[in-house]
Amino acid sequence: MGFLTFRGGVHPSEKKEMSQDQEIKVLKLPDTVYMYTSNHLGAPAKPIVEVGEKVKTGQKIAEASGFISANLHSPLTGEIVSIEKMVNAASGRKDDVIVIKKTSEDDWQLLPHNDDFTKFTSEEIINNIKEAGIVGLGGAMFPSHVKLMIPKGKKAETLIINAAECEPYITIDERMMLEKTDEIIKGIEILLYASGIEKAYIGIEENKSKAIKTMIEKTNGKNIEIKTLKTKYPQGAEKQLINAITSKEVPSGGLPIDIGVIVFNVSTTYAIYDAIINGKPLVERGASLTGEGVKKPGNFLYRIGTKVNELLENVGLIDEENIDRILYGGPMMGIPLPNIELPTFKGNNAITVLTKDILPKREDFPCIRCSSCVSVCPIGLQPYLLKKYSDTRNYDTALENGLMDCIECGSCSFICPSNIELAKSFKTAKKVVRAMKQRRG
């Protein structure tokens, strides 16, 4: 049987067996949470609470401040104890953080909700998703309501649910499909209703056979079709997923809606269900705590804003001297943490702890122009050339050669026999280009 896929890509060791069979455990409420106002892609949310104010679980504490922005809600019933600056590992900058101390168990402030979502209009559903502060939970943290606001002149024709979960080690989306099957299917029906699209596709990699079987059984007779994908990284990248399922290509610099497609991560779909049916804003999510550096890898439901060290207490760390790095996310696109006393984000689908045994120090060598990076680039770029242009600050030529189309998946770095960290160079170059563009206005 042939599985759907895309051109290029790599096959890193999957390592999913470490947590694949571990049922999701609900963690106890933390004593304190730390909520970045930049908990999404786009402009930071604006705080609407003051120090000393009492808040309920689910109460809005910061308001979206732009079109690409998202509301923020309290994950605890407690008191605002400070609004301070903390390092944001993703950007390297200090961001505003709202600190909330728990004063009691959950006393929820819910949004309007209804078991029968058709009692809402599609506009009301999109507005409720916006009010709930839901963003992409696969890691991108793009505000979900924006995807449903179809620009004038565009038409949404295909809904794709991203359940590929191609990053090694991470298994939370797979567990969500096994344990929250009915809720996710209801979430898909809500998205179809809100978008006016007639049919949805769920893309799942072949290494999740139980989830594929369960989803096929539960969607029987519904306008939802399961598409089995070849296990290959980065199969879960939005453009590669769309290409594998529809054979269409998102144009350079374009968006999925330009070809009539909208994509939602499977855990995001569950969050949309929870908001519309139960009235719960996005204050908690699932994550895999995994890697050779933890004693008992597993999957957990936790309150957003919990510090990483508190999450890791639930799985235990091995000898700290043998730990190489701790990442927000997985080993291919994860963000190395400067310390573990930083808070979690809405987009944290995993904390991965890697050891020195797994990541031995490698000496890097000059590029030998073997073109391995070209053969695996899922976008069809020439990474070795982009590296040359980026290193010499020849940004105009780098842009002409597709620098901004790079999805930073790291496939080129993974395959490079000279151990050159190509993707890291491209991330830096893209930041420089964006900064130059901002300065020019």
pLDDT tier, 364 (very low <50, low <70, confident <90, very high otherwise): confident
- At 333-360, the pLDDT tens digits run 999 999 999 999 999 999 999 999 887 6
Strand residues in 309-434 grouped as ranges (E): 323-328, 335-336, 350-355
In the prediction, which pLDDT does 320 show? 83
Q: Specify binding-site residues.
A: 367, 370, 373, 377, 406, 409, 412, 416
CB 319 within 8 A of CB 355: no
Spatial distance between the Cα atoms of 226 and 212, rounded to a whole number of angstroms: 7
Share above pLDDT 70 across residues of the chain, in percent, rounded to a whole number: 99
Q: How confident is the model over 242-292, as pLDDT tens digits?
A: 999 999 999 988 999 999 999 999 999 999 999 999 999 999 999 999 999
Cβ pair 265, 259 in contact under 8 A: no
In this prediction, residue 140 has a pLDDT band, given cuts at 50, 70 and 90, of confident
- What pLDDT, in 10s, does the model give residues 141-155? 999 999 999 999 999
Residue whose structure tokens are 């359940």: 163
Q: How far apart are CA 132 and CA 130, in angstroms?
A: 5
Note the pLDDT of residue 1. Answer: 55
Extract the annotated binding site for [4Fe-4S] cluster: 367, 370, 373, 377, 406, 409, 412, 416
At residue 435, does pLDDT exceed 90? no
pLDDT of residue 319: 85
The helix or strand, by DSSP H or E, that contains position 240, with its residue range, turns out to be helix 238-246
Judge residue 308's burial from the number of C-beta atoms within 10 Å of its C-beta, 0-12 exposed, 13-18 middle, 19 or more buried.
buried
Q: What percent of the chain has pLDDT over 90?
A: 91
Average pLDDT over the chain reads 95
Tokens of 114: 């209804």
Tens digit of each residue's pLDDT (9 = 90 or more) over 5-20: 999 999 999 999 999 9
Indicate whether 441 pLDDT > 80: no
For 112-127, the pLDDT digits (tens) are 999 999 999 999 999 9
pTM listed for this prediction: 0.95
Q: Using pLDDT thresholds of 50, 70 and 90, give the confidence band for residue 139.
A: confident
